[in-house]
């Protein structure tokens, strides 16, 4: 069963990344063809030599088996002599080649079978004419030198090399190069896909989240829209406000995605008996506050008395999201300058209230560790069905401190920005203090085809 799941996952990855395979493989095939086209051609010529001892006054039919075996043993010696410096020097002199004997020897391949008296010379050169000349010259010089060296005449030229009118180069072979580069392209494609899915992976599916962190996925929120941004890359006030659920099409894929997340959250909190929910993420810019605010709105729309508490005392954006002018908030209460009731504001959404950060404080971590935070959360639980708390990302310790004071945490992951190692470290911080992580919401994920219709 596990093997079947593994194969299915591999198939799904290949199906998803098929464009990478096609593009890289096609590029490598064309590269192989181009390399073979621009490489200098190599032509080949072949000549065969017959080793056959001839004794003076003896007919060939009277040659004994012993003499034939002697010829066969001589072939190994002849193969060495063929590539010797003596022969190559004479070949260079006859052909007018300026190459050294060692270089000429590399162009000549000497081939013989163990039970054959035939020696084949295969010669490669930059032109067919040069290959033929080199092959024939080597054969002729070898035949002459054997008479002088061995004092026997047992070598005949069986087949001489000839110039063919339509002779084609033996190297490079475009087909071979294209096949080799095709294999290289496929291999490189799989290496790139492997690196992308492991080292450089991003979370673009619920399955990846569940496999990586062994945490339930509560849903996927697609990219809402491309709004103008400031030069520093941060959303301005109107950008954030326009991404709130009341401003979106109630039948859009984004709205349906939030409803799906709401259903999963409601089921989870009913199982966990959770009432105070903390929302956090690894780094800024992952859509944590927007997702928390829209989740609170979605829960309130389902007739649940909900309050959104902005406890990001460093860079809270709750007032901008809900267009709340009141500057009183959590810090005002914690510093004893207001009661809990005085900092609660009703929003334009039915069943949804809001508490802002208040004036920013120089020591937010110390304020969030105070007993007054515990009192505030207990008081809000008595008046509301759900308390949604937006906190700073886990680059600071605020969310870790607060995670021990709430019933559960929801972790936000951005499909386009969040990296595996960052998320693993952040989740470990929460697990170290035994925080109850209810699940993960994938933000800016791919829109599901199943939610792209209107019913």
Q: What is the CATH number of the domain that holds 309?
A: 3.40.50.300
Q: Please report which confidence band the pLDDT of residue 8 belongs to, taking 50, 70 and 90 as the band edges.
A: confident
86 is a domain residue = yes
CA distance 169 to 43: 4
250 is a domain residue = yes
34 and 50 within one domain: no
Query: Could you tell me which of 113, 122, 87, 82 has the C-alpha nearest to residue 101?
Result: 87
126 and 25 within one domain: no
CA distance 303 to 262: 12
Alpha helices per DSSP H over 313-393:
318-322, 330-334, 340-343, 364-368, 371-383
225 and 143 within one domain: no
166 is a domain residue = no
184 and 139 within one domain: no
Query: Could you tell me which of 114, 117, 113 has the C-alpha nearest to residue 63?
Result: 117
pLDDT given for residue 202 in this prediction? 64
Query: Could you tell me which of 278, 267, 280 has the C-alpha nearest to residue 218?
Result: 267
Could you list the beta-strand ranges (E) of 205-316: 217-222, 276-281, 306-310
99 and 181 within one domain: no
**CA–CA distance from 11 to each of 4, 15, 170, 290, 371 (Å)?**
10, 6, 40, 35, 53
Dihedral of alpha carbons 260, 263, 268, 274, sign: positive
4 has a pLDDT exceeding 80: no
Please confirm whether the linkage preceding 361 is cis (ω < 30° from 0). no
Query: Could you tell me which of 254, 245, 249 has the C-alpha nearest to residue 221?
Result: 254
Which of 102, 137, 159 represents a domain boundary (last residue)?
159
3 has a pLDDT exceeding 60: no
Q: What's 386's DSSP letter?
A: E
CA distance 237 to 210: 34
Name the region of 351 (left: φ>0; alpha: ψ -120 to 50; beta: rest): left
User: How many domains, in total, are found in the chain?
Assistant: 3
Determine the average pLDDT of the residues in 262-288: 92
340 and 224 within one domain: yes
249 and 178 within one domain: no
256 and 189 within one domain: no
Give the structural domain span for 337.
203-451
CATH number at residue 145: 3.30.70.1130
265 has a pLDDT exceeding 50: yes
Cβ–Cβ < 8 Å for 139, 157: yes
**What is the distance in angstroms between the CA of the first residue and the CA of the last residue of the chain?**
37
Query: Could you tell me which of 132, 176, 166, 119 has the C-alpha nearest to residue 44?
Result: 132
Question: Does residue 8 sit in helix, strand or coil?
Answer: helix
pLDDT given for residue 83 in this prediction? 87
- Cβ within 8 Å of residue 193, ≥6 positions away: 13, 14, 17, 20, 21
291 and 179 within one domain: no
Query: Could you tell me which of 200, 193, 195, 247 has the C-alpha nearest to residue 224?
Result: 247
pLDDT given for residue 112 in this prediction? 85
110 is a domain residue = yes
Which of 159, 188, 218 represents a domain boundary (last residue)?
159
Q: How many CA atoms lie within 13 A of 454 on its CB side?
A: 4
Q: Would you tell me how many other CB atoms lie within 10 Å of the CB of residue 138?
A: 28
381 and 441 within one domain: yes
CA distance 420 to 4: 25
pLDDT given for residue 5 in this prediction? 45
Cβ–Cβ < 8 Å for 82, 108: yes
Q: How many CA atoms lie within 13 A of 354 on its CB side?
A: 27
pLDDT tens per residue across span 281-321: 988 888 899 999 999 999 999 999 999 999 998 888 888 88
168 is a domain residue = no
233 and 111 within one domain: no
167 is a domain residue = no
Cα-based angle 306, 397, 411 (whole degrees, multiple of 5): 50
152 and 53 within one domain: yes
pLDDT given for residue 32 in this prediction? 92
Range name among 46-55, 388-397, 428-437 with the lowest pLDDT average? 46-55
CA distance 236 to 320: 9
- Which pair of structure tokens corresponds to residue 187? 């291999």
pLDDT given for residue 162 in this prediction? 86
73 has a pLDDT exceeding 50: yes
* Chain position carrying tokens 């928390």: 292
Share of the chain above pLDDT 90, in %: 36
pLDDT given for residue 16 in this prediction? 78
CA distance 139 to 378: 104
- Cβ within 8 Å of residue 350, ≥6 positions away: 300, 301
CA distance 50 to 116: 9
């Amino acid at each position: 069963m596990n093997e079947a799941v593994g194969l299915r996952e591999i198939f799904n990855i290949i199906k998803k990344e098929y464009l990478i395979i096609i593009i890289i493989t096609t590029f490598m095939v064309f590269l192989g063809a181009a390399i073979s086209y621009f490489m200098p051609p190599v032509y080949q010529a072949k000549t065969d030599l017959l080793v056959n001892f001839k004794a003076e006054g003896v007919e060939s039919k009277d040659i004994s088996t012993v003499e034939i075996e002697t010829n066969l043993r001589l072939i190994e010696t002849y193969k060495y002599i063929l590539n010797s410096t003596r022969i190559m020097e004479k070949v260079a002199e006859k052909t007018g080649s300026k190459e050294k004997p060692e270089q000429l020897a590399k162009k000549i391949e000497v081939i013989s079978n163990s039970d054959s008296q035939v020696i084949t010379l295969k010669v490669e050169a930059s032109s067919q004419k040069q290959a033929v000349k080199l092959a024939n010259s080597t054969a002729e010089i070898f035949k002459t030198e054997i008479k002088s060296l061995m004092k026997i005449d047992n070598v005949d030229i069986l087949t001489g090399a000839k110039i063919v009118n339509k002779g084609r180069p033996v190297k490079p072979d475009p087909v071979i190069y294209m096949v080799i580069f095709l294999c290289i392209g496929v291999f490189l494609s799989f290496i790139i896909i492997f690196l992308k899915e492991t080292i450089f992976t991003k979370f673009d599916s619920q399955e990846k989240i569940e496999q990586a962190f062994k945490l339930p996925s509560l849903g996927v929120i697609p990219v809402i829209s491309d709004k103008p941004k400031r030069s520093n890359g941060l959303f301005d006030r109107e950008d954030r406000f326009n991404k709130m659920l009341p401003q979106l099409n109630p039948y859009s894929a984004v709205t349906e995605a939030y409803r799906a997340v709401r259903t999963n959250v409601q089921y989870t909190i009913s199982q966990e008996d959770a009432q105070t929910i903390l929302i956090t993420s690894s780094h800024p810019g992952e859509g944590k506050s927007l997702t928390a605010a829209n989740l609170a709105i979605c829960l309130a729309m389902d007739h649940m008395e909900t309050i959104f508490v902005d406890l990001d005392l460093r860079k809270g954006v709750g007032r901008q999201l809900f267009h709340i002018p009141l500057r009183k908030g959590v810090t005002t209460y914690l510093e004893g300058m207001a009661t809990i009731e005085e900092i609660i504001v009703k929003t334009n959404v039915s069943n949804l209230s809001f508490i802002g950060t208040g004036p920013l404080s120089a020591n937010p971590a110390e304020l969030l560790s105070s007993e007054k935070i515990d009192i505030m959360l207990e008081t809000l639980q008595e008046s509301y069905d759900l308390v949604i708390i937006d906190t700073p990302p886990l680059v600071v310790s605020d969310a870790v401190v607060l995670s021990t004071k709430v019933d559960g945490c929801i972790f936000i992951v951005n499909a386009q920005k969040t990296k595996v190692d960052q998320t693993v470290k952040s989740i470990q911080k929460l697990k170290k203090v035994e925080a109850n992580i209810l699940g993960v919401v994938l933000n800016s994920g791919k829109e599901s085809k199943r939610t792209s219709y209107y019913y």
